[in-house]
Amino acid sequence: MKTIALATFAAGALTAALGLAGTAAAFPGDGSAEDTVSGLKADSFIVELNGNTSNQPLSRCSVLGMHPLLSNLAGLSTAEKRNTVVLVDISCPSH
C-alpha cells in the first residue's frame, strides 16, 4: 500500500513540475535570478524580490528559494496567477 501511495505522490509531483516547466527551468541553479523572474512574469505571476541586489543586475544574482513553492502553484488558472505574489529569495555578489 505504501508503494502505491508513493508512486501516486511521485506522479503528482512530476505532473506539477511539468505544468511549470518553463519557470522551473530557471530555478534553482539553472540560470540567473533574472531568468527566474522573467519566467514567473511570463506565466502571469506577480513577483517580489527578497534580498539585496547590492546594485547588481539580476543577471548576476542567483535564486535561493521561492515562496510559495512551484509545486504549490501548479494548476492555477491565468486569473489566479495574476493575483498570486511569488517571493523570490535572491543572493547577489557585493562587487
Name the residue range of residue 60's domain.
2-91
Give the model's pLDDT for residue 11. Answer: 42
Q: How far apart are CA 80 and CA 62, in angstroms?
A: 27
Give the model's pLDDT for residue 94. Answer: 85
Kind plus residue range of the DSSP H or E element containing 66: strand 62-67
Q: What is the mean pLDDT of the chain?
A: 78
Does residue 24 sit in helix, strand or coil?
A: helix
The number of folded domains in the chain is 1
> pLDDT (tens digit, 9 = 90+) per residue, 49-69?
999 998 999 999 999 999 998
Give the model's pLDDT for residue 69. Answer: 87
